[in-house]
């Protein structure tokens, strides 16, 4: 990882803030930790809620969704998230939602994203499995052709749904694997959902060539990250917020170059971290870890990837060169092929050089 360059002076005047934000907005980016349904824009969610009026408590007014997405804790977040999942009733809902997510990414100059998809949630609600796969693939192909956004999938187990969900997710990932599928994950609550029980499912997915990217250490301690690494064979860690509490874990993550998918605003919204000033991203960077910046469930948290980069720039005292280094981290940590990585890193470097010259 290129060393993150800090600003030389501890002065961030208004003009400097605008400069960083403008730089971030135009910078080519990759995103590794962002959820499919959680990325649905307020417009799309409101349209789905109106279509299924009387069958859901989700507001049909986009403005009212901001209050609806005001979470009290992680458990409340899961409850609200599932209520939005329940609005997706057929393959056309899936197709339009997915392409809408890609349109939002294109507006942020996101070139590549590994979108975490929870197929069990839709298939268990009656959407045929083959129709679901066709819908996300149709949207993926169209997004790359029309928007220049390359999408790949991470199929994740919803931990709160138990081992039946793990079995079904594994079947969908291994037996029906769509072309864009690259990885296998585990989401949902950590408390009361121990990671070792999912080992057989991760073993099968990894044997089929999928990469392991479970959530861990978001709302529980470092031991959950250790379980993800030692038992599930994690190649990246979703969140990993609590890893900083274990120096030996930090050493291991740094030595083995295991990337962390850090989502600052999400951590505050779900109360995984109490105050932004307490976020451990600086400790992660100072420990030499490969840190990537991500938005998680952006509309639900009132954020987007550009905003998360601006938050990281403030927390880490980064200038444009430092922000570009963070962007390269995401590309390096991705499961994109070597030519694809070289292309996006080249775009980032060219953009930085042009900005400096300007």
Catalytic positions: 218
Q: How far apart are CA 220 and CA 223, in angstroms?
A: 8
Q: Is 162 helix (H, G, I), strand (E, B) or coil?
A: helix
Q: Kindly give, in sequence order, each residue whose CB lies less than 8 Å from that of residue 302, ignoring residues fewer than 6 positions away.
A: 66, 69, 265, 269
Structure tokens at 348: 């980032």
| Measured CA angle at 112 (ends 27, 301), to 5 deg | 75
Among the residues of the chain, which ranges form H helices?
A: 14-26, 42-51, 62-68, 74-85, 91-107, 119-123, 129-147, 162-175, 199-207, 222-230, 247-255, 264-269, 281-286, 305-316, 320-333, 338-357
**96 C-beta neighbours (distance < 10 Å), count:** 17
């Amino acid at each position: 990882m290129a060393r993150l360059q800090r600003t030389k002076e501890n002065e961030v005047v208004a003009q400097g803030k605008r400069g960083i934000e403008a730089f971030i907005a135009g910078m080519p980016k990759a995103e590794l930790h962002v959820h499919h349904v959680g990325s649905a824009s307020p417009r799309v969610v409101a349209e789905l809620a109106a279509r299924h009026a009387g069958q859901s408590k989700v507001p049909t007014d986009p403005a009212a969704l901001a209050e609806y997405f005001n979470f009290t804790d992680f458990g409340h977040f899961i409850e609200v998230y599932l209520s939005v999942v329940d609005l997706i009733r057929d393959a056309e809902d899936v197709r339009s939602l997915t392409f809408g997510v890609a349109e939002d990414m294109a507006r942020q100059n996101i070139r590549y994203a590994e979108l975490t998809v929870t197929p069990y949630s839709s298939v268990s609600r009656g959407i045929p499995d083959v129709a679901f796969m066709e819908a996300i693939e149709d949207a993926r192909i169209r997004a790359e052709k029309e928007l220049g956004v390359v999408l790949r999938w991470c199929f994740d187990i919803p931990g709160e749904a138990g081992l039946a969900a793990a079995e079904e997710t594994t079947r969908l990932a291994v037996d029906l694997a769509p072309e864009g599928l690259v990885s296998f994950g585990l989401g949902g609550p950590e408390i009361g959902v121990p990671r070792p029980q999912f080992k057989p499912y991760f073993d099968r997915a990894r044997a089929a060539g999928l990469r392991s990217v479970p959530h861990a250490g978001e709302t529980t301690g470092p031991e959950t990250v250790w379980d993800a690494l030692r038992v599930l064979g994690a190649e990246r860690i979703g969140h990993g917020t609590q890893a900083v509490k274990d120096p030996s874990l930090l050493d291991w993550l740094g030595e083995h170059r295991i990337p962390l998918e850090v989502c600052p605003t999400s951590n505050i919204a779900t109360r995984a971290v109490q105050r932004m000033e307490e976020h451990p991203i600086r400790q992660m960077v100072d420990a030499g870890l490969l840190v990537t910046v991500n938005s998680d469930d952006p509309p639900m948290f009132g954020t987007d990837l550009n905003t998360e980069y601006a938050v990281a720039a403030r927390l880490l005292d980064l200038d444009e060169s430092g922000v570009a280094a963070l962007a390269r981290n995401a590309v390096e940590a991705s499961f994109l092929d070597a030519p694809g990585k070289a292309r996006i890193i080249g775009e980032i470097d060219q953009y930085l050089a042009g900005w400096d010259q300007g």
